[in-house]
Amino acid sequence: MRLFAAVCICFFVASIVLFAQALSQISGTATDPTGAVVPGVEITVIQTQTGVKRTGTTDGNGFYVIPNLPLGPYRLEASKAGFRTFAQEQIVLELGSSPVIPVAMAVGNPTEQVIVETRASDVETRSAGVGTTVMESRQILDLPLNGRQATDLIPLSGLAVQTGAAPTYTMYTGVNISVAGGTSWSVQYNLDGAPNVDAYVGTNMPMPFPDALQEFKLSTSAQDPSFGGHSSGGTVDAVTKSGTSAFHGDVFEFFRNSDLNARDFFAAGSDGPKRNQFGGVLGGPIKKDKLFFFLGYQETMTRQNLVNSSAYVPTAAELTGNVAPFIAAGCPGAAGMAASLVLANGHLVLPLSPAALKISSTYLTPLAKPADPCGHVLYGSPLHQNQLQASLRADYQLNSSQTYLKFPGQ
């Protein structure tokens, strides 16, 4: 049953990814040493992790744009007869970024290269929204997240505060977060470009665990219409990891055990929490430069015997009608009981009807045999909970060499 549920979740997540992805673009203008635009320059962008290439050509104004690029690191190359080959390294496409990369063509032999190795500028000039620093995979994993919930990253921006959790009758992993003073249901959540909102209560649907996340970003102020949904307060965008041209993965386990914890000074005893969170991820190529996969699995097992409630139950003596220890200890209600007591066999006895004795013998006796003369006991409901999360992402490159043209006036 557990395996069946995990497989169902995999197919569900995979179906979402196939229909929506977080994409970006690279654009710019090619110029010669005099500053004049250079049309007809062949532009090639290469995703360095997968080797996938996209191509385009500058128009009559020297302008080019390569749209619909998956997030990640890229290298840009520009070539034309009579000019040296231009190469820009360390281009990183992040959530909400559309970098403008100017291409400086130098006169010379095309076999010679002009390589720019510094990272391209991350300044975003096309969006009116204000976005916090994008958190990449390494940062997400390094931050201490309670329960490894990605939504705990949102209040770190300083613009947001969690006001509550989703009701228990819906997705309990969702949270109510107020961003920039807005209402808790005015935050739009997107996962891989698709809406990820529980429309019933306005909170987020479950987010992937940190090892399966590539980037995480919160945007506020004026929002891009492409975000969609109810993003008046802010927009949270998350992107899952994708496979690369090399196999990579890891396994993990985080645990908490009451044997390693100090007992609270006012606690009557340890509630015995045991929490194990374990899993792993694996990604790689299925077909070189064409088909890539990434899958992950996380299971959280929680075992806790809560002792946070108290009650008074009949003691063994009281079940026979002997309430002398109860009176002697000055237990709650002892003073009002005196008028109903009778002396029998040298003991103060509370007369019990045959029906009361029958009920006591079948129902009350197994509950507890407290040492406390008043019958005071501590109890709680055991918490045994298993949470399973699986994600599967497949990326297929339809054509490794596509040409995108930018015509004047567009």
Give the pLDDT of residue 331. 79
* 32 located within any domain: yes
The encoded tokens of residue 277 equal: 């969170």
* 193 located within any domain: yes
The DSSP code sequence of 53-80 is EEEEE--TTSEEEEEEEESEEEEEEEE-
* 108 and 147 together in one domain: no
* 121 and 140 together in one domain: no
Q: Is 5 helix (H, G, I), strand (E, B) or coil?
A: helix
Give the pLDDT of residue 120. 61
Residue with more model confidence, 71 or 8: 71
* 158 located within any domain: yes
* 123 and 27 together in one domain: yes
Q: Rounded to an integer, what distance in angstroms lies between the CA atom of residue 24 and that of residue 127?
A: 12
- pLDDT of residue 74 exceeding 80: yes
Please give the tally of structural domains in the chain.
3
Q: Domain range for residue 82?
A: 2-127+398-405
Q: How many CB atoms are located within 10 Å of the residue 149 CB? A: 15
- Residue 331, sorted as left (phi over 0), alpha (psi -120 to 50) or beta, turns out to be beta
* 371 located within any domain: yes
Q: What is the CATH number of the domain that holds 49?
A: 2.60.40.10
Query: Which one of 240, 257, 279 terminates a domain?
Result: 240
- pLDDT of residue 278 exceeding 70: yes
Q: What is the CATH number of the domain that holds 179?
A: 2.170.130.10
User: Mean pLDDT across the stretch 161-182?
Assistant: 75
* 370 located within any domain: yes
- pLDDT of residue 406 exceeding 50: no
Residue with more model confidence, 97 or 126: 97
Question: What is the chain's length?
Answer: 410
Q: Is 162 helix (H, G, I), strand (E, B) or coil?
A: strand
* 42 and 153 together in one domain: no
Query: Which one of 240, 267, 288 terminates a domain?
Result: 240
Residue with more model confidence, 17 or 316: 316
* 121 and 145 together in one domain: no
User: Mean pLDDT across the stretch 230-235?
Assistant: 70
Give the pLDDT of residue 214. 86
Residue with more model confidence, 264 or 403: 264
User: Mean pLDDT across the stretch 59-64?
Assistant: 92
* 102 and 18 together in one domain: yes
* 59 located within any domain: yes
Question: pLDDT band at 45, cuts 50/70/90?
Answer: very high
Number of H helices, E strands in the chain: 5, 25
**Please, what is the average pLDDT of the chain?**
76
pTM of the complete model: 0.67
* 249 located within any domain: no
* 64 and 116 together in one domain: yes
Give the pLDDT of residue 267. 64
Q: Rounded to 10 degrees, what is the CA torsion of 139, 143, 149, 153?
A: -70
- pLDDT of residue 119 exceeding 80: no
Place of tokens 């045991």: 274
* 172 and 221 together in one domain: yes
* 6 and 107 together in one domain: yes
User: Mean pLDDT across the stretch 18-24?
Assistant: 60
* 93 and 146 together in one domain: no
Question: Mind listing the pLDDT tens digit for each residue in 292-351?
Answer: 999 999 999 988 877 767 777 777 777 776 777 777 777 777 766 665 665 555 566 666
User: Mean pLDDT across the stretch 363-370?
Assistant: 50
* 320 and 351 together in one domain: yes
- pLDDT of residue 250 exceeding 50: yes
